[in-house]
Amino acid sequence: MAQQFYYRLPSDCNSDLALWSGSFSTQHNISKTQARVLLAKKLNTKRLEPQTLIVSRQELERGSWTADEIRAETCERSKPKRQKRVAKTIHDVPASFDDVQALLKRFNLA
DSSP string, 8-42: E-TT-TTTTT-S-SEEEEESS---HHHHHHHHHHH
pTM for this structure?
0.64
Percent residues over pLDDT 70 in the chain: 80
Return the top range by mean pLDDT from 70-79, 83-92, 94-103.
Answer: 94-103
Lowest-confidence region among 11-15, 80-84, 91-95: 80-84
DSSP 1: -
pLDDT at 88: 65
